[in-house]
Amino acid sequence: MNDIEEISNALLNFRNERDWKQFHNPKDLAIAISIEAGELLEAFLWKPAEDAKKDKIEEELADIFSFAFLLAHEKGLNVKQIILNKIERNREKYPVEKAKGTAKKYNEL
Amino acid sequence: MNDIEEISNALLNFRNERDWKQFHNPKDLAIAISIEAGELLEAFLWKPAEDAKKDKIEEELADIFSFAFLLAHEKGLNVKQIILNKIERNREKYPVEKAKGTAKKYNEL
Amino acid sequence: MNDIEEISNALLNFRNERDWKQFHNPKDLAIAISIEAGELLEAFLWKPAEDAKKDKIEEELADIFSFAFLLAHEKGLNVKQIILNKIERNREKYPVEKAKGTAKKYNEL
Amino acid sequence: MNDIEEISNALLNFRNERDWKQFHNPKDLAIAISIEAGELLEAFLWKPAEDAKKDKIEEELADIFSFAFLLAHEKGLNVKQIILNKIERNREKYPVEKAKGTAKKYNEL
């Protein structure tokens, strides 16, 4: 069993023991990701990046990943595949010769 | 090589070819996750969950995962481990006998 | 007519002409605020605050305010009053002698 | 003094008494708005809109407005004017005859 299957199984077990599938419709899972993304930002508010507490980042990042894996599961998406696909599309939007060393968006390159 | 290493390597290769590490400080990566989480929400705005377009969900979820993996990499966090640790902590906050079938937060159980 | 009434009326007229009240339930309005907050963050991504474009900030801030005023209207909340009330509560959470010059959260003061 | 001036003055007084202007650069104020938008979403998570608690909505909406007014102040933006301007632009993007009764985005009309 690979890593991602192992993570998904652990998350699904935890959820099923608590009978929480009923709450996990895709819209609420997307809302949950946004909430956790906001809590991650809290680690960095009013301070430079290096002053953020690592354990807070770790905790909120774990929550973001958890809801993202659950949403991928609900929608039948293969996480590795969708990321590799997106990288391929980004290769076209951000060709190395244009995008190297600049943070501009593809439509401004 | 397991899934998560493979994904991280693909993301880092894409980034390093473009010399983008200089922009990827943890604070901006956390901001990027929030932006993408907002774009994911757009798929669901003003409509029931089942009307959201799957390819939009797939695309935005891929972006959220990508920045989350990059932030985990920057902070030296093992993604599988931090999720499994969080599940353990959640077992204590949400014991099955109290949390089963309810969406209440742990401090309201 | 004061400023806030004038703004709310303009927003409600615009909405009613388009028959959009049906979409503006509080949950979706809250989602819309988060989406626009993410778009505002885009103005600042990968760059220092002073490099963000003012017209982008203006546009996204206008959207955040618009959905926030619409949500306040739906819930029958008086915007001036809830802000002044919150300032009063914050006076207790952040007494000047403890909070002066520090960005700590009230539970860390 | 109109409503918006009164609100802004109250927020600025509160801030200046605590010497917090130093933390309120536009990038962090935008981050603060996103964090509060996430907290507002918490009121609606895993439940229908009508089950959200009004006092939670009130509290988080007050925070969103507060940071939005502070950001507008930092950037020298007139809140009433930017909203009325945005409504004008939206009249062109969403003409009544095309947009009436549909939640489609302008680029799909």
Residue C69 pLDDT: 98
**What pTM was computed for the model?**
0.97
Rg (CA), chain B: 17
Say what the pLDDT of residue C1 is: 73
Q: Identify all chain B residues contacting A52, using CB atoms and an 8 Å cutoff.
A: 26-27
Task: Write the pLDDT tens digit of every residue in D9-21.
Answer: 999 999 999 999 9
Q: Where exactly are the structural domains of chain C?
A: 1-75, 78-109
Identity of the residue in A11, A31, A34 whose CB atom sits nearest the CB atom of B87: A11
Question: Using 50, 70 and 90 to split pLDDT, how confident is the model at A80?
Answer: very high
Mean pLDDT (whole number) for B20-49: 97
Asked if the model's pLDDT at residue D1 lies above 90, the reply is: no
Side-chain-facing half-sphere of B18: CA atoms under 13 Å: 25
Mean pLDDT score of chain B: 96
pLDDT at A82: 98
- Cβ D34–A38 below 8 Å, yes or no? yes
Q: Where are the alpha helices (DSSP H) in A1-106?
A: 3-17, 26-42, 54-74, 79-93, 96-99
Select the residue of C20, C34, C86 nearest D41 (Cβ to Cβ).
C34
pLDDT for position B1: 73
Alpha-carbon distance of D10 to B17, in angstroms, equals 50
Nearest residue of B to residue D47, measured between CA atoms? B103
CA-based nearest distance A38→chain B, Å: 7
Nearest residue, CB atoms, A3 vs list B2, B34, B38: B2
ipTM of model? 0.96
The CA distance from A99 to B18, in Å, is 6
> C-alpha angle C58/C64/C69, rounded to 5°?
120
Q: Which residues of C touch B38 (CB under 8 A)?
A: 34-39, 41
Closest CA to A83 of B32, B5, B27, B78: B5
Q: Sign of the C-alpha dihedral, residues A95, A97, A103, A105?
A: negative
For residue range C14-70, what is the model confidence (pLDDT) as tens digits?
999 999 999 999 999 999 999 999 999 999 999 999 999 999 999 999 999 999 999
pLDDT tens, A8-62? 999 999 999 999 999 999 999 999 999 999 999 999 999 999 999 999 999 999 9
Q: Where are the alpha helices (DSSP H) in chain D?
A: 3-17, 26-42, 54-74, 79-93, 96-99
pLDDT digit string, tens, across residues B39-84: 999 999 999 999 999 999 999 999 999 999 999 999 999 999 999 9
Count CA atoms closer than 13 A to D3's CA, side-chain side: 16
User: CB A45 to CB D35 under 8 A?
Assistant: yes
**If we measure between CA atoms, which residue out of C43, C69, C30 comes closest to residue D65?**
C69
User: For D5-64, how does the pLDDT look when each residue is reduced to its tens digit (9 = 90+)?
Assistant: 999 999 999 999 999 999 999 999 999 999 999 999 999 999 999 999 999 999 999 999
pLDDT confidence band for B11 (50 / 70 / 90): very high
The token duo for D39 is 């907290």
Chains that touch A (3 or more CB pairs under 8 A): B, C, D
Smallest Cα distance from D47 to chain B, Å: 8
Distance from CA of A103 to the nearest CA of C (A): 7
- Domain D1-75 classification at class level: mainly alpha
